[in-house]
Amino acid sequence: MMRASSILSKNSALAVRHAKMGDQISGLVVPIFEGFSYSGNLLESIDKFTNGAFKSQLEATGHTGKANHVSILYGLDKTLPRVAVVGLGKPFPEAACGTTEAQKSCDSLRKASALAARSLRDSGADHVVFGSVRGSADFQPLAEGAALGLYKFDHYKSQKPEDADKKKEVEAIGLLYEGSLNQECASSFERGTIYARYQNMARDLMNIPANDMTPTIFGQEAQRLLTADGLKVTVRDRKWIEEQKMGSFLSVTNGTDQPPAFVEVEYKTAERPEGPVVLVGKGVTFDSGGISIKPSSGMGMMKGDMGGASVVLSTIAGLAQLGVKTHVVGLIPLCENMPSGRATKPGDVVVARSGTTIEVDNTDAEGRLILCDALDYAKTFKPSMIMNFATLTGAMDVALGFGCTGVFCKNDDLWQRIDKHGRATQDLLWRMPILDDYREAVKASVADLINSTATRSAGSCTAAAFLEAFVDEDMPWAHFDIAGVMHSGKTAGYHVAGMTGRPVRPLIDMIAAMEKK
C-alpha cells in the first residue's frame, strides 16, 4: 500500500533549473503571438543559434501563433533536441500592468505553458525551459502553468503503459537566458513555481485515498511537511477536544473507529499588532454522510472532503517557503463521518464549544458541525480576521460550478482583498449573500440552531448563516465554500483531472501582499 509521505514527497520534487543558450536542454518552450516576427527577439536568437533551422521548421508547420496551438520541432541542434512553439493568440498587455485584461491574459500564459510542458514531457523531455515573452512578470504565470499542468496522480498504478520505459517525467523547469541570468525574471519564475507547488500539495492531500489519509495520518504529514523556520505544528487528540468541550465536533466522530485530531499550525515570523490571520479548514477525511448516508454513486469522491484542511495547510506551507514576514494560525479539525451503532442520529441535540445547542437534523450536514467549534476556538487567538474553507454544500456546485469559489463575506474591506487576488491569480472568487431570511431558517424549534433546513433552497446560504452564528459580529470573516471547485472532471489547460487544490494561489498571494511594506 502506498504511503502518503512517499506520494507527497514525489510530487513536491519538481526542481527549478535555469539554462543558458548552448547548454544541453531537453525541451525548450517558445511562446509566440499572432503576427510574430524574427527580428530583435528570442526567435531571432534561436534561429541564429540553429543556423536557420528554427525558422525553416517553424514555417513548415504553418504555425500562426493561434492560441494554444503547439508545434514541436525536433533536432534543431544537438543541445536543442525538442522545441515546443506554443501560440498565445493576439498580443495582450504584460502581467505587470495589473489591469483586468492583463490578468486574463496571464491565464493565457498559464494555459499555453501547461500545454507546451505536457507536450514536451510526452515526447521524452525531462527538463523544460521557457524562453522569454516580454516583461519579467510574465514568468510567474508561465511557471505556474507548467508546474500545475505537469501534475500527475498515478502513484497507485502497479503497471505502466507498454511504452513507459520510453517516457520520462519532467524533473526540472526553468527559464532560458543569454549572457547573465536576469534575477528579476528568475525571482518571478521561482515565485510562480512555489505558488503551483503548494496548490499541488493540496491536490495530493485531497487525491490520496481515505485509507491512506486518516485524521491521524494527516496530522503526521502536517508535522513532517511543515518544518520551516517560524512554523509550529501541534496535533491535538480526542482528550484535548473533549477538554475544549467541542461537543458539536465530537458528535460527528461518534460513528467511526478512526480517532479525531485537531491540528494547530502557527507560522510566526513577525508581529502583527492587529492580531494574526486565522485560517480554519474543514478536515473530514471521508464523508459517508453518517446515518443520513449518501448515495453510493460518487461517494468515493468524498476522500476529498478535507479540501479545506488541505488548502489551509498548503497555504501556510507556501507562505513559509516564500519567507513572508507575518503571523498566521491554521486550525484544522479532522475526523471521518461514518454510520454505526454509536453514530449521531437525526434529531439528536448537541452542545457546541460556545454553549450553543444544535439540533442535528441531517448527519450529512456535518462540515458545519466541526467548523463551528473551530471558529469559536479561533477567538482565543484574538485574530485580525478569520477565513474558513470547506467543501461544504452541493448547492454551491449547483450555483457556481467549477468556475469560481463562493465566498460569504460581510466585511467590504476583506472582500475587496479577496476579490483582488482571485482576479490576479485567475482563480476566481464570487461574493455570496447572508440575509436575515437565511438566519431565520437555521433557528431550531427544540434547540438554538438546526444544522439543516427542511428545504433545499439556498442551501449554501443557510450553511453560511449557521457558521456566522459562531463569529463575533465585528470580526472580519469570510467563509469559502469550495465544493464546486473541489474536483476537475477533465484535463484542460493547467487544470488536471482530479482534485484541484483550489484556492491556494489567491490565498498565498493575498496574505503575502498584506505584509508588503
- Comparing 30-44, 153-167, 287-301, 331-345, which segment has the lowest mean pLDDT? 153-167
Pairing of strands 429-432, 498-499: unpaired
Residue 87: the pLDDT is 96
pLDDT band at 165 (very low <50, low <70, confident <90, very high): low
Nearest residue to 452 via CA among 314, 315, 325, 360 = 360
Nearest residue to 515 via CA among 315, 325, 267, 269 = 325
Residues 310, 51: Cα–Cα separation, whole Å: 50
pLDDT band at 2 (very low <50, low <70, confident <90, very high): low
- Contact present, 333 and 377 (Cβ < 8 Å): no
DSSP classification of residue 492 = B
The full set of domains in the chain, from first to last, is 4-197 (3.40.220.10), 209-514 (3.40.630.10)
Residue 183: the pLDDT is 95
Measuring CA to CA, how many Å separate 352 from each of 322, 443, 473?
A: 37, 15, 18
Where does 305-383 have alpha helices with state H? 307-322, 367-378
Nearest residue to 281 via CA among 319, 321, 315 = 315
Tens-digit pLDDT profile for residues 215-236: 999 999 999 999 999 999 999 9
Residues 436, 454: Cα–Cα separation, whole Å: 17
C-alpha cell at 60: 513548415
Q: Which of 294, 345, 431, 439 is catalytic?
A: 294
- Contact present, 424 and 400 (Cβ < 8 Å): no
Cα torsion angle, 281, 407, 428, 392, sign: positive
- Asked if the model's pLDDT at residue 368 lies above 50, the reply is yes
Residue 446: the pLDDT is 97
C-alpha cell at 264: 494547530
77 three-class SS = strand
Residue 260: the pLDDT is 99
> For 468-487, what is the mean pLDDT?
99
pLDDT band at 11 (very low <50, low <70, confident <90, very high): low
> Strand (E) positions, 369-461?
385-390, 405-409, 429-432, 449-450
Query: Between 106 and 116, whose confidence is greater?
Result: 116
Residue 135: the pLDDT is 74
- Asked if the model's pLDDT at residue 411 lies above 50, the reply is yes
Q: Which of 111, 118, 368, 505 is catalytic?
A: 368
H, E, C per residue of 198-243: HHHHHHHHHHCCHHHCCHHHHHHHHHHHCCCCCEEEEEECHHHHHH
Tens-digit pLDDT profile for residues 52-109: 999 999 999 999 999 999 999 999 999 999 999 999 999 887 765 567 777 888 899 9
Strand order in the sheet with 449-450: 348-351, 357-360, 449-450
- Contact present, 264 and 328 (Cβ < 8 Å): no
DSSP classification of residue 338 = -
Amino acid (1-letter code) at residue 207: N
Residue 95: the pLDDT is 62
Q: For the whole prediction, is pTM greater than 0.75?
A: yes
Beta bridge partners of 255: none
- Asked if the model's pLDDT at residue 344 lies above 80, the reply is yes
Nearest residue to 112 via CA among 94, 151, 131, 86 = 86
Residues 365, 290: Cα–Cα separation, whole Å: 9
Question: Could you confirm whether 152 is annotated as catalytic?
Answer: no
pLDDT band at 161 (very low <50, low <70, confident <90, very high): low
Measuring CA to CA, how many Å separate 454 from each of 69, 210, 372, 436, 469?
A: 50, 31, 20, 17, 19
Residues 306, 156: Cα–Cα separation, whole Å: 20
CB count, 10 Å around CB of 274? Answer: 11
Measuring CA to CA, how many Å separate 190 from each of 63, 147, 172, 257, 399?
A: 30, 11, 12, 43, 36
Cα torsion angle, 349, 352, 354, 355, sign: positive
Residues 72, 455: Cα–Cα separation, whole Å: 55
Where does 306-366 have alpha helices with state H? 307-322
Residues 139, 185: Cα–Cα separation, whole Å: 6
What are the residues whose beta carbons fall under 8 Å from the beta carbon of 247, sequence distance 6 or more? Answer: 350, 351, 352, 353, 373
C-alpha cell at 480: 469559502
pLDDT band at 129 (very low <50, low <70, confident <90, very high): very high
C-alpha cell at 57: 521548421
pLDDT band at 455 (very low <50, low <70, confident <90, very high): confident
pLDDT band at 26 (very low <50, low <70, confident <90, very high): very high
Tens-digit pLDDT profile for residues 171-192: 999 999 988 999 999 999 999 9
> For 493-504, what is the mean pLDDT?
98
Question: Could you confirm whether 121 is annotated as catalytic?
Answer: no
Question: Phi first, then psi: what are they for 449, rounded to 5°?
Answer: -135, 160
Name the strand (E) or helix (H) holding 508: helix 504-514
Tell me the average pLDDT of the chain. 95
- Asked if the model's pLDDT at residue 1 lies above 60, the reply is no
Beta bridge partners of 265: 233, 330
Nearest residue to 234 via CA among 380, 332, 311 = 332
Residues 460, 483: Cα–Cα separation, whole Å: 10
Residues 453, 438: Cα–Cα separation, whole Å: 10
Pairing of strands 487-488, 498-499: antiparallel
- Asked if the model's pLDDT at residue 324 lies above 90, the reply is yes
